[in-house]
Amino acid sequence: MHIAFTLLVGALCLATDVLGASLQPQIPSVASVSLSSASGDVFQLSELVRIVVDSKSAAKGSPSLLDFAKVFRNDLNSVTFLKTILPVETSSHNIALPNLPTIFLTIDPKKQFKLFNGKPTDEGYELTTSRNSIVVTASAPIGVWWGTRTIVQQAALAAASGSKKITFPVGKVTDAPGWEVRGFMLDVGRHWFETDFLTELCVYASFFKINEFHLHASDNLWNPDFLYGEGNEGWKNLYAAFRFQPGHGSPISGLVPRKNESWTQNDFRSMQTTCAQHGVTLVPEIDTPGHSLVINQWKPQLMERGAPDHLNLSVPETIPTIKSIWDEFLPWFTSSEVSIGADEYDAKLADDYIGFVNEMSSYIHQKSGKSIRVWGTNEPSTTLSISKNVTIQHWDFPADDIPTRLMDAGYQVINSEQAFLYLDGKTSLDNQFPQELNQDLIWSGAPGGKGWAPNIFSPTDPSNNTNIRNPNLRGSIMALWNDWGNNATTRLEIYYQLSRSLAVFGEKAWSGSEVRDTALTRAQFDAVYPVLNAAAPGQNLNRVVPSRNGVVYNFNLGFNGQTTHVDSVGPPYTMTFSVIPSSRSPSQGLLFSGIDSKLHVANLTFEATGKLYPLGYTLPLGKWTKVAIHATREYTYAVINDDASTKRFWTTTMDLWGSEMAVGNMSFAAPSKTFGGDGFSGSIKDISIVLGA
Ligand SMILES: *[C@@H]1O[C@H](CO)[C@@H](O)[C@H](O)[C@H]1NC(C)=O
Ligand SMILES: *[C@@H]1O[C@H](CO)[C@@H](O)[C@H](O)[C@H]1NC(C)=O
Ligand SMILES: *[C@@H]1O[C@H](CO)[C@@H](O)[C@H](O)[C@H]1NC(C)=O
Ligand SMILES: *[C@@H]1O[C@H](CO)[C@@H](O)[C@H](O)[C@H]1NC(C)=O
Ligand SMILES: *[C@@H]1O[C@H](CO)[C@@H](O)[C@H](O)[C@H]1NC(C)=O
Ligand SMILES: *[C@@H]1O[C@H](CO)[C@@H](O)[C@H](O)[C@H]1NC(C)=O
Ligand SMILES: *[C@@H]1O[C@H](CO)[C@@H](O)[C@H](O)[C@H]1NC(C)=O
């Protein structure tokens, strides 16, 4: 029988033995593969494939096995060239027949899968492939879900290999994550993001078996020029935000003055549901008693003197206010854990801080049954200590306690060490953080040269690392901060920093770096990542649109007010048009708009996240001007009337903590949906979008 795996497999065969010979490397790697024989028997996916859910397990869980199966069906369709796959069926047994391939999804609570530390996990699964069927078995729906990711990735790789057949080798795959927590954090406090974008991010991350999306949902810019100094009232105007929108008439509605930059409960719920249906739990963070300018702007009487972004925990109204905030929002959250932030507070107020954390731990547990997490913080107290019920998310040496010591003392720890796992939107002071996770460091830079994994905390000192079997190491969360606020980046620029980072993180957080001989090499990752990034189903963060010979569209006639079917076009692209603004209202209105950006006629100003980025070019009235916009993921520039000397970049300025003003390029998606509008008076013609900058 013909074996359909070609390109990538060829490369792999040289590198490994029979083991990997016909299952393609994927992200993350699977723990173990055993193929029936060298006979080359395969299961072939076709239009006729039936996805069957075991009827006795179908309704189990929330989301249920059936919910997951429906997403799986859509995803399988989207990554292959197969015609529409039949709707999901339920049956009490595997109904595979010859020539009628079946994927059977079932739960067997007796199946046992273990994390590296030996604790049981529901996230493991087994794929048993015969010529007629693939049976996915796990101890809970979430395990089956991850098993379907493995099938979808294999199908995507086969489809991309140019082969006409999509086949799976007969045999067995057994897989489970090494760690329980495999998450990513986004600073959604200092930068506003709509839930549609955040939902796309969690769907994307789930393709790489990432299971948590930590939302840092309240914070403020930090700038000493605004915050400190006798009589300095700058804090009143420094950007601070809280993203959960209180209900009508809520006593805490003053906390969210800018409703247009907050999520309603409905927005949040629907994001939470979609993420959950992709195996991703939203873990919300409301950060207090530091990083709390947004609360002090609402209730200045709670402020710590001299530190407007800190709450004074000794003011009698402070802790009840924080509790009232949690009271309002705890019912929104389906996660079993929430983060109360609790980082970077005054060391001299250690006892107040520790008392507060412990009080919130009991309060939140008593109100909702949820546990809490805090960021690691060095609080030198000789009298009090944080409850062992609180998980500590380590991020820094030496400002927080040493993680190995915390774990030895019995604390549960999550590794978010900044030396490996921090990114900052667009830039960072003194280039402290890379644009995307540092691949050299992740693959080999840690002590021992085996690469980073959740048990690795230090790039320099192995004594700070721990064993993969440590029962108190829960896993890891990578983080992207938005220290420079709304105008530093567009939302898609955030995705560009995360896209590859999430994939490599997914591999290491699931498989680690030292025990599994199936773990990916860097070369395997590099070969397979672009294919999987392009295939990742359920979202379109790359903003790929249909095109013919590289042309998305090309309209010759004059337009004002037309709408196209193209919402937005991701870079690289070249957008060209000619425009003649009329003299009636020369600086009003929009030239183009789309779901990610708008272009105003005045000064050729791009808009994203409600922020304006003028090019500083004024279109002459009463005569046609040709504009060509060239964009990549790194920059956007315009050329006027084909005159290369007019080339000019759209940029932003970022105030790096009051110590430096940095200039950065902006990458905008093409505002391809609507021509003209919003009071534009004049005409636009010869509008084209071509792929490639
Ligand atoms: C904190 O509040 C207490 C009680 O109101 C007050 O005595 C103290 O001076 C305040 N400290 C600061 C630093 O604001
Ligand atoms: C930890 O939580 C449990 C409830 O889950 C509670 O009974 C116990 O008192 C808590 N321990 C501490 C030290 O807070
Ligand atoms: C590692 O731990 C030691 C203390 O055990 C500490 O002195 C050292 O600075 C730590 N830092 C890093 C980055 O490894
Ligand atoms: C165009 O930009 C300049 C500075 O870049 C500004 O002074 C002017 O007000 C802007 N004009 C319009 C119409 O926005
Ligand atoms: C929200 O409204 C404020 C005040 O009108 C405005 O400054 C801001 O740009 C708006 N935000 C967005 C994302 O549109
Ligand atoms: C962006 O915002 C910062 C404040 O965070 C401000 O200092 C800077 O001037 C803004 N830049 C632009 C181009 O609006
Ligand atoms: C913007 O990008 C161009 C092209 O890569 C580069 O030459 C220029 O230095 C960049 N500008 C900034 C402010 O980074």
Residues 310, 441: Cα–Cα separation, whole Å: 35
Please give the average per-residue pLDDT across 479-496, as a whole number: 98
- Sheet strands (E) in 217-270: 218-220, 240-242
- Of 9-13, 186-190, 374-378, 596-600, the one with minimum mean pLDDT is 9-13
Candidates 135, 320, 121, 291; CA nearest to 218 is 291
Q: Give me the sign of the Cα torsion angle 160, 161, 162, 166.
A: negative
Nearest atom within ligand 4 for CA of residue 600: 14
Residues 390, 24: Cα–Cα separation, whole Å: 40
Residue 13 reports pLDDT greater than 60: no
- Of 2.60.120, 3.30.70, 1.20.1250, 3.30.310, which CATH number belongs to 551-691? 2.60.120
Nearest ligand to the CA atom of 346: 1
580 C-alpha vs ligand 4 centroid, how far in Å? 19
Nearest ligand to the CA atom of 258: 5
Residue 314 reports pLDDT greater than 90: yes
Three-state SS at 455: coil
Residues 549, 552: Cα–Cα separation, whole Å: 8
655 C-alpha vs ligand 6 centroid, how far in Å? 6
Please give the average per-residue pLDDT across 488-514, as a whole number: 97
Q: Is 664 in the pocket of ligand 6 (CB under 6 A)?
A: no
Q: Is 258 in the pocket of ligand 5 (CB under 6 A)?
A: yes
Q: Is 603 in the pocket of ligand 2 (CB under 6 A)?
A: no
571 C-alpha vs ligand 6 centroid, how far in Å? 24
Residue to mutate, 385, 389, 390, ligand 2, most ligand atoms under 8 Å from C-beta? 389
Nearest residue (CA) to ligand 4, atom 4 = 616
pLDDT score, position 163: 82
Which residues neighbour 364 within 8 Å (Cβ) at sequence distance 6 or greater? 326, 330, 338, 340, 370, 371, 372
Q: pLDDT averaged over the chain?
A: 94
The answer to whether 141 and 54 have CB atoms below 8 angstroms apart is no
* Topology (CATH level 3) of domain 2-175: Chitobiase; domain 2 (3.30.379)
246 vs 399, higher pLDDT: 246
pLDDT in tens, 643-657: 999 999 999 999 999
The active-site residue, picked from 180, 200, 261, 344, is 344
The answer to whether 452 and 442 have CB atoms below 8 angstroms apart is yes
Residue 509 reports pLDDT greater than 80: yes
Architecture in CATH of 181-514: Alpha-Beta Barrel (3.20)
Q: Is 649 in the pocket of ligand 7 (CB under 6 A)?
A: yes
Residues 319, 304: Cα–Cα separation, whole Å: 13
pLDDT in tens, 59-103: 999 999 999 999 999 999 999 888 889 999 999 988 888 778 999
Residue 360 reports pLDDT greater than 80: yes
Amino acid (one-letter) located at 363: Y
The model's pTM is: 0.95
Specify the DSSP element, H or E, that contains 505: helix 491-511
pLDDT score, position 567: 98
pLDDT score, position 21: 41
Q: Taking the domains of the chain in order of start, what are their residue ranges?
A: 2-175, 181-514, 551-691
Confidence at 401, pLDDT banded by 50, 70, 90: confident
Residues 168, 147: Cα–Cα separation, whole Å: 14
Q: What is the pairing mode between strands 625-631 and 682-691?
A: unpaired
Residue to mutate, 378, 394, 396, 397, ligand 3, most ligand atoms under 8 Å from C-beta? 397
pLDDT score, position 8: 34
Three-state SS at 311: strand
Amino acid (one-letter) located at 336: S
- Of 17-26, 373-382, 439-448, 517-526, the one with minimum mean pLDDT is 17-26
Residue to mutate, 431, 632, 649, 653, ligand 7, most ligand atoms under 8 Å from C-beta? 649
Q: Is 652 in the pocket of ligand 6 (CB under 6 A)?
A: yes
Q: Does residue 233 carry a catalytic annotation?
A: no
Nearest residue (CA) to ligand 5, atom 8 = 610
Residue 16 reports pLDDT greater than 50: no
Q: Is 660 in the pocket of ligand 6 (CB under 6 A)?
A: no
pLDDT score, position 561: 85
Residue 237 reports pLDDT greater than 50: yes
Confidence at 39, pLDDT banded by 50, 70, 90: low
What are the Cα distances from residue 346, in Å, to 54, 295, 512?
55, 17, 36
**What secondary structure letter does DSSP report for 361?**
H
Nearest residue (CA) to ligand 3, atom 1 = 464
Please give the average per-residue pLDDT across 395-414, as a whole number: 92
Residues 672, 574: Cα–Cα separation, whole Å: 11
637 C-alpha vs ligand 1 centroid, how far in Å? 52
Nearest atom within ligand 6 for CA of residue 611: 14
